[in-house]
Structure 1
Amino acid sequence: MKKLFLFAALILLNVYQSRSQSKTLFNGKDLKGWHIDVPEMDKNPNARNPFLVRNGLLVSLGEPGGHLITDAKYDNFRWTFQYRFAGKPGNCGALVFVSKPRDLYEMFPKSIEVQMMHENAGDFWCIQEDITVPDMEKRRGPKEKWGVNGDKLRRVPNLTDGTEKPLGEWNSMVIECVKNSIKVWLNGVMVNYGYDATAQTGQLALQSEGSEVEFKEIKITPIKALSK
């Protein structure tokens, strides 16, 4: 009984310490702590920067395509943020375990994407990294077609649709990465879970991928991974 009580107390202590160590990744004023990787800006000096701060919000304009990447790397964390499509609903994504830039199609960094595309929020996309989920063949398709690049089956659909808020309302996303597992909640509902990922540390990134998206309350909280 004492061992059980002690274990429960340690868990509560870890939760308290994690909350007290929560860090804001966006200050509402500038993009300090992030850097921009937009291939079009390399080729065209007149190309616009698709990432900006507007009225205290971080905005991804959607075009040209690219990524806003944290300078720092993270492992064992809970990444939380609010997002909404500013106009027409469309596509965007949040990437974890980001490493080599422009590793797929000379655009996407090596990573695992948590999809925010309208009506598909919570899907995983494998970008030169891989992950396993329950009911893998049912959800991902024939095993022989799985892969992390090219025309392979890189998408792992979420567990449940219908969790997104109506257009114009704020959605709450939580992405929890502990060792090489990823759990995703959207508006309080767990929408995906994966394990045995081929990475467990890296940078974070937000996409510019076709649609204008606004972000706020972007925070990261460290998680102390319990040893098995």
Structure 2
Amino acid sequence: MKVYRAYKTLLATLLATAAFSAAAANKPAQEEWVDLFNGKDLSNWTIKLKGYPAGENAFDTFRVKDGLLQARYDKYETFGNTFGHIFSNSGPYSHYKLHVEYRFVGEQVKDGPGWALRNNGIMFHTQSPQSMAVDQDFPLSMEYQLLGGNGKDARSTGNLCTPSTQVVIKGELRKDHCMNSTSDTFHGDQWVTAELVVHGSELAQHFINGKLVFEYNDLQKDDGTPLEGGFIALQAESHPADFRSVRILNLKGCMDKKAKNYKSYFVKDDAKACKY
């Protein structure tokens, strides 16, 4: 009897230790960010330039140098409205946090649109690059607009533009193409941190250098269909730009506390992802 009790006690201790070890190893509160840009090459990205099929990097528009993902125009004679986007092959995503560090550099390419001076964007909830028409300017998406100062005027960044989409702000359906945030202006070639929090079609928040500057709800296509998720892309709209960090934290996953991969910061459950 004593041996049996000792065995039961040992077994209970081992199970408790295993459970504690599993919980400790998982660390439910520890955020697991994923780098979309590896700092070395564009192997996990697909380029789509207006006038060219997906996958063709005409004029070496997008490149990697010194650990930076760059948009450049030194091999263009004129811009010719060759609007470009580079899509992460990861995804699609619906609920997540996105962290991007960017800066504008140099001079705008010859014949670039006036409105595109120090103008770029993070496109999210986008269609895939393969589904875009060859001559399509911009993907259906939400655009987290990035603007640099012109050296004298106030010019917010972290704005919202809506190519073939619309949103609700403070209970009002807004169909404006672009709407300004409350951010500061960033002149020159300084680095700026842009962060995005998205909960499917329900909520999106823009942060600049840690400050909330824009918030909206009910992300949707022009026809009113909820825009639940999609891919992530960076723009090239005629002004050279650098990106040194592009990383994502998925907020959708297993929310069962008994699972090995449970995370306390998930906001959307994905029961199929649970591992026991």
- Identify the match of residue 125 of structure 1 among 155, 161, 168: 161
How do 1:43-62 residues align onto structure 2 when only pairs under 5 Å count? 47-61=58-72
Q: Provide the residue aligned with 1:84 in structure 2.
A: 103
Say which structure, 1 or 2, has more relative contact order (CA 8 Å, 6+ apart): 1
Q: Provide the residue aligned with 2:86 in structure 1.
A: 68
Q: Provide the residue aligned with 1:214 in structure 2.
A: 242
- Identify the match of residue 33 of structure 1 among 44, 48, 51: 44
How far apart in 1 are the matches of 2:219 and 2:245?
Answer: 27
When the two structures are superposed, what TM-score results if normalisation uses the length of structure 2? Answer: 0.64
- Once the two structures are TM-superposed, the CA of residue 218 in structure 1 deviates from its matched residue by 1.0
Counterpart residue identity of residue 87, structure 2 = I
| SS of aligned partner of 1:115 | strand
Q: Provide the residue aligned with 2:142 in structure 1.
A: 112
- Once the two structures are TM-superposed, the CA of residue 188 in structure 1 deviates from its matched residue by 1.5
- Identify the match of residue 185 of structure 1 among 203, 207, 219: 207
- Identify the match of residue 177 of structure 2 among 143, 146, 154: 154
| SS of aligned partner of 2:168 | coil
How far apart in 2 are the matches of 1:107 and 1:195?
Answer: 25
How far apart in 2 are the matches of 1:61 and 1:178?
Answer: 33
- Identify the match of residue 169 of structure 1 among 181, 190, 204: 190
8 A Cα contact 2:46 2:88, kept in partner: yes
Identity of matched residues, %: 24
How far apart in 2 are the matches of 1:183 and 1:205?
Answer: 17
How far apart in 2 are the matches of 1:46 and 1:193?
Answer: 34
Coordinate RMSD, CA, aligned: 2.5
Moved over 3 A (4+): 100-105
Q: Provide the residue aligned with 1:3 in structure 2.
A: none
The gaps in structure 2 that reach 5 residues or longer are 1-26, 74-78, 108-116, 149-154, 221-226, 252-265, 270-276
When the two structures are superposed, what TM-score results if normalisation uses the length of structure 1? Answer: 0.76
How far apart in 1 are the matches of 2:246 and 2:178?
Answer: 25
| SS of aligned partner of 1:48 | helix
Counterpart residue identity of residue 213, structure 2 = V
Counterpart residue identity of residue 200, structure 2 = K
Which digits, 9 at most, give the CA deviation of each residue in 1:49-79, with x for residues without a partner? 3111011100012653211011221121101
Larger Rg: 2
How far apart in 2 are the matches of 1:40 and 1:120?
Answer: 31
8 A Cα contact 1:26 1:32, kept in partner: no
- Once the two structures are TM-superposed, the CA of residue 103 in structure 1 deviates from its matched residue by 6.6
- Once the two structures are TM-superposed, the CA of residue 200 in structure 1 deviates from its matched residue by 2.0
Counterpart residue identity of residue 193, structure 1 = E
- Rate the CA distance shift 1:46–1:208 in 2: closer, same or farther, 3 A: closer
- Once the two structures are TM-superposed, the CA of residue 30 in structure 1 deviates from its matched residue by 0.5
